[in-house]
Chain A
Amino acid sequence: MDLLPENYKELLLHYIDNWTACHTAPAYLQNLRAQAKGAIQGLSFPTRKMEEWKYTTLDRAIGHQPLPPDPLTGIDPDWLEQYALPGLEATRLVCINGEILYHDPLPKGVRLERLEQWPSHLPEPVPQPHDIFEQIHTALLSSHWVLGVAPGVSVEKPIHCINLIDNRLKNVLCQHGLLMQFGAGAQCNLLETQHCLGKHSALNNSLMQLQLAPNSVVGHVQIQQGHAYQSTVQRTHVYQAGGSTYSNYLFSLSGQIIRNNLHLSLQGEHTEANLYGLYLAKDHTHIDNHTLVDHQVPNCQSNQLYKGVLAGNATGVFNGKIYVRPQAQKTNAYQQNRNLLLSEKATMNTKPQLEIWADDVKCSHGCTIGQLDEGQLFYLQARGIGPEASKAMMVYAFASEIVEKVKNAQVRDYLLGIIANQLNFSID
C-alpha cells in the first residue's frame, strides 16, 4: 500500500509505451489506443471523492502494482476440463489473459472473429470517456474479438466463456473483453466464469459489450469467484433494439474487491430487461454493484432484483439507477434491493436512484437492510435444528431466490453447491 495511485499511473503509462511499440494492430485500433493513452494522462484513479466511487476504493488492488501478464501461446484442451461446469453441455470459449486461445467447434450460425476495422453499425467503442479503466482496457487492447449469432438462429447449447488469468509468476492486471452481436430473432444463452491460475494478486479489467438486434432473446449468467487477492472491475454494456429481451444474472461470490457496472441502453420499443444479482461477501471482501437502466424509448419494461448477504468485515455497495428520458413514455421500471447483515462489522451502502423525465411512467424501487428474523430462527430451533444450521438454512433460502431465476439446471446446481459450501464458513 506504499504506492501512490499517481505513481502507479506513471508505471502503467510507461508500460503502455513499451507494449504499443511491439504490438501492431489495424489502423483503427492504433488510433483508439493512442486516444485512450492520451485520455489516461488526463484522468486519475478513482477516489472516494468521486460520486461514482463514493463507497469503493481500489487502493488495495492497485497497491500491488499489477501489470499485464506475459502472453501464453497455446493450451491443452484436456487441461481445461477442470474449469468446465459439472454436467453442463456447452460450447466453451477459453480466454487466457484476455486472448481467446481455444474454443470448441462453434454451432451453426455462430461466428467468432477478430475485427480488422471498426464496423459502422456498432456503437462508438469508448462510451465512458471518464472511466480510466475503460481507457486502460482500450490502450492495451491487442484486438477486438467479436462473437456473432446469425439472425433467426436459436443456439441450443449455452456458450460458456471461461476467463483465465495467469497470475502464477507476478501480480497482474488483465484486460478482458468481448463484443457480442445477436441478429434479429436470435436466441442464445451465455455463461461467463473466471478463474485465477496462481496465487499472486490479480486485477481483472473486463469490458463486455452486447448488441441485441430486434426480437433477439439473450440470457447472460456471470459468475465471479476469486481468492482474497483477486479483484475485478467489470463493465457490461448492453444495447437493446426493439422487442429484444435481455436477462442478466450476476453472481459475485468471492474475491477481494469486485466492482460491476452494468449499463443497459433500451433503444427500441417493447424491449424487456431483467437484472438479477446475488452477492455473498465475507472476510474483507468488498462488492460494489452499479446498475444503470437507460430507458430511451417508450413502452419498455425493466425489472431489477439484487440481493446481498454480508458477513465478517465485508462491505456491500448497491447503486441502482433507473433513468427515464423525456420521450420514454409508458415505461415500467422496477427495482428491488434486499440485504442481510450477518456480523457486527459488515457494512452495506445502498443508493437506489430514480431519475424520471417523462410523466406517463410507473417506476418504483424498494430497498431493505436487516438481519435474520428471530421469530423464524426460533421456529426452526423449536423443531430441533441447531442455531448454526437454522441460520444457514435461512440464508440459503434467501440466496436461492436469485439462483432459481437461472434457467439452466446444471448452472443452478453448480451455484447452489457453491453457496451451500460458503455458508459453512460465513456464519458463526
Chain B
Amino acid sequence: MNGQEEDLLSEITGSDYKYGFTTNIEQEFAPIGLDESTIHFISQKKNEPEWMLQWRLNAFAKWKKMQEPEWANVQYPRVDYQSISYYAAPKKKDKLQSLDEVDPTLIDTFNKLGIPLEEQKILAGVAVDAVIDSVSIKTTFKEKLAEAGVIFCAISEAIREHPELIKKYLGMVVPANDNFFASLNSAVFSDGSFVYVPKNTRCPMELSTYFRINAQNTGQFERTLIIADEGAYVSYLEGCTAPMRDENQLHAAVVELVALKDAEIKYSTVQNWYPGDKNGKGGIYNFVTKRGICKGANSKISWTQVETGSAITWKYPSVLLTGDNSIGEFYSVAVTNHHQQADTGTKMIHVGRNTKSRIVSKGISAGKSQNSYRGLVKVMNRADGARNYSQCDSLLIGDACGAHTFPYLEIDNQTANIEHEASTSKIGEDILFYCNQRGIDNEEATAMIVNGFSREVLDMLPMEFAVEAKKLLAISLEGSVG
C-alpha cells in the first residue's frame, strides 16, 4: 500500500462521530431491571387497557423461556437485561399547540441533527412524528392526514383510541414469541408509530418519524405498526441518530407492515446511530425485527435501508408474500467502519402464486469492521410461478475488514425461477489510477465509486431522504466518501 493510500485510510478510519451530543431534559425512569412489575409500570404509565397489559405479560412469559440467539456473525459482550431501565420519558407537560411551545432545547437538538422541523412543514409536506426516547413529542400535519382518513399517531395513543385495529393487527406479522428480541419488545415496548391508511386512499404525504436515543442506559423499544388497507398506498420514512455514549445501549425494535389487497407500502430507513468510537468502545446494539406481510393479492412491500450506524446491527427486514401476485423488495446499503459489525439481510417467503421478490444488497466495510449479508429466499410448494432475483455486492476498504455472505435458498416448487449473484472486491487500483489521471484525487475518486456502487439503492429512497442518506454515507466513511 502506498503512503497516499495509507493517509487516506487513516483519515477514513480516524474520523469521529459528529452527532455526539446529549440533550439535558428531565427524565422519568422505570426502576432498573425487568420483571412483571416493570411491565405493570410501563403499561400504567401509558394508561393502557387491561387487554394490552395481558398481551405484554404473555410476551414476557414467553421471553423468559427463550435463549438469546448466537448464530449471527457478530461478537459482543452479553447484555445484562437486568441492568437496563426499560422506560424513560421526558416529563409530562401540557399538550402543545404550536412549535413555539416546544422546549427550545429540543428544537436545538433537532437543528443539530439537521432535521428542519419548522421548515419541513412548508418545504416538503412531510409530517413528522418526532420521537425523543420513547414518547411522541410533536405531531404535525395531523389535520391534513385526518382529512384523508389516515391515522398517524403514537402507538400508545392508537392502543387507547383504535383498540379494534390494534387488537386485530398487533403481533400479526411478528408474533409475541417470534424471537428473543421481538418477545422482549412485545413485553416492554414504550412507544412507536402507528399508521392506518384506509381503503383506496393514497396517503397525501410521506410519513416520517425521527428516533433519537437520548437517555443513558435506557433500552429503546420502539414498536411500529403500519397497515395499508385495500388499494391504499403509503410511504414511510424512518431516520435515526443517537448521541455519543460510552456504555452500550440496547435497541430492540419491532416493525410490522400489513398490506392488504392491491395495497403498497414503501418503508425507508436511514440509520445513523452511534457506532462506538474508533477503538470499538460504546455504540448502539441494534437488534431489530422488521417484517411485512403482503396479505392480499397484488400487494407490494418495499424495504429500503441505508445503515451506517450502530456498533452491532442484527436486522433482517422480511416480506411474507402470501397474496397472489404480490411483490416484495429489499434494497440495502450497509456501511461499517472502525469495529462495527453488521449482520443484515432479508427473508423473502413465497407462499402465494406468481409472487415476485427482488433483493439488492450493497455492503461496504472499512477499518476493522465485519459486514455480513444473511438472506433467505424460500419458495413454498404451492407458490407456483415464483420469481426472485438477488444481488449482493461487497466493497472492501482496507485490509483488516471482512465481508461475508450467507444466502439460503430453499426451493420447493419446480416453476420457481430463482437467481442469486454475489461479488466481493476492493476498489481497483486501475480505477483509482484512471481517476487520478484525470485530475481527480483518491478521496474524490473513492467517493464517486462508493456513490456509484450504492446508487441502485439510493435511487430507491424518497428525494428528501436521499440527500440525508448521502450525507450519512459521507460521515461514515469521512475523508473519502462524499
B426 contacts partner chain A, Cβ-Cβ < 8 Å: yes
Which of A226-234, A260-268, A356-364 binds B? A356-364
CA distance A362 to B429 in the complex (A): 13
Within 8 A of B (CB), among A347-391: 347-371
Contacts A349-B411, A360-B426; A355 near B421 (Cβ below 8 A): no
In angstroms, how far is the closest chain B Cβ from the Cβ of A103?
43
B419 in contact (CB, < 8 A) = yes
Instruction: Give the CA-CA distance A348 to B397 in the complex, in Å.
Output: 35
A343 within 8 A of B: yes
* Residues in B whose Cβ lies below 8 Å from that of A359: 396-399, 401, 426
- Tell me whether A368 and B414 are in contact (CB under 8 A): no
* Contact between chains at B411 and A369 (CB < 8 Å): yes
Asked if A363 and B397 sit within 8 Å, CB to CB, the answer is no
Bound CA span A351–B405, Å: 9
Contact among B406, B409, B419 with A349 in the assembled complex (CB-CB below 8 Å): B409
Report if A341 contacts B (CB, 8 A): yes
Q: Does A65 contact B (CB under 8 A)?
A: no
Given A341-B411, A344-B414, A359-B397: A351 touches B406 (CB 8 Å cut-off): yes
A26 interface residue (CB < 8 Å to B):
no
Q: Mark B59-70, 1 if CB is under 8 A from A, else 0.
A: 000000000000
Main secondary structure of the interface of A (DSSP, over half): strand
Smallest distance from the beta carbon of B463 to chain A beta carbons, Å? Answer: 33
Residues of A near B411 (CB, < 8 A) are: 339, 341, 347-350, 369
Closest-by-CB residue of A relative to B372 is A355
A350 to B416, CA, bound (A): 14
In Å, the complex CA distance between A222 and B160 comes to 68
A352 touches B398 (CB 8 A): no
Q: Which A274-316 residues sit within 8 Å CB-CB of chain B? A: none
The distance from the CB of B423 to the nearest CB of chain A, in whole angstroms, is: 4
Give Cα A355–Cα B411 distance, bound, in whole angstroms. Answer: 23
* A366 contacts B420, C-beta separation under 8 Å: yes
Contact A355 B397 (CB under 8 A): no
A290 CB to nearest chain B CB (Å): 14
Query: A363–B419 Cα gap in the complex (Å)?
Result: 17
Find out whether the CB atom of A368 lies under 8 angstroms from the CB atom of B420: yes
Q: How far is the CA of A357 from the CA of B400 in the complex (A)?
A: 7
B425-439 at interface with A (beta carbon < 8 Å): 425-426
Q: Is A86 an interface residue (CB 8 A)?
A: no
On chain A, which size bracket covers the interface? 35 or more
Residue B417 at the A interface, CB < 8 A? yes
Tell me which residues across on chain A come within 8 A of B424, comparing CB atoms: 354, 356, 361-364
Contacting A361 at CB < 8 Å: which of B414, B416, B417, B425?
A: B425
Contacting residues, chain B, for A344 (C-beta < 8 A): 381, 413-414
Asked whether, in the complex, the Cβ of A349 is within 8 Å of the Cβ of B418, the reply is no
Complex Cα distance, B394 from A364, in Å, reads: 10
Q: Is the CB of B421 within 8 A of A364?
A: yes
Residue from the set B409, B414, B421 with the largest chain A CB neighbour count within 10 Å = B414
Q: Give chain B nearest CB distance to A329 CB in angstroms.
A: 7
Taking the complex as formed, is A63 at the interface, i.e. its CB lies under 8 A from any CB of chain B? Answer: no
**Is residue A326 within 8 Å, beta carbon to beta carbon, of the partner chain?**
yes
Q: Which residues of B contact A326 (CB under 8 A)?
A: 399-400
Contacts of A358 in B (CB 8 A): 396, 399
Q: Give Cα A355–Cα B371 distance, bound, in whole angstroms.
A: 10
Residue contact A343 to B421, C-beta cutoff 8 Å: no
Which residue of chain B has the shortest Cβ distance to A343 in the bound complex? B414
A308 to chain B, nearest CB (A): 11
A124 at the interface (CB under 8 A from B): no
- B467 in contact (CB, < 8 A): no
Q: A354-B424, A359-B397 are in contact. Are A367 and B419 (CB under 8 A)?
A: yes
Residues of A within 8 A of B (CB): 51, 55, 326, 329, 339, 341-371
Give 15 A-B pairs besides A354-B405, A360-B426, A361-B426 with Cβ atoms closer than 8 angstroms. A343-B414, A347-B410, A348-B410, A349-B408, A351-B409, A356-B394, A356-B396, A357-B402, A359-B396, A359-B398, A362-B424, A364-B424, A365-B421, A365-B423, A367-B420
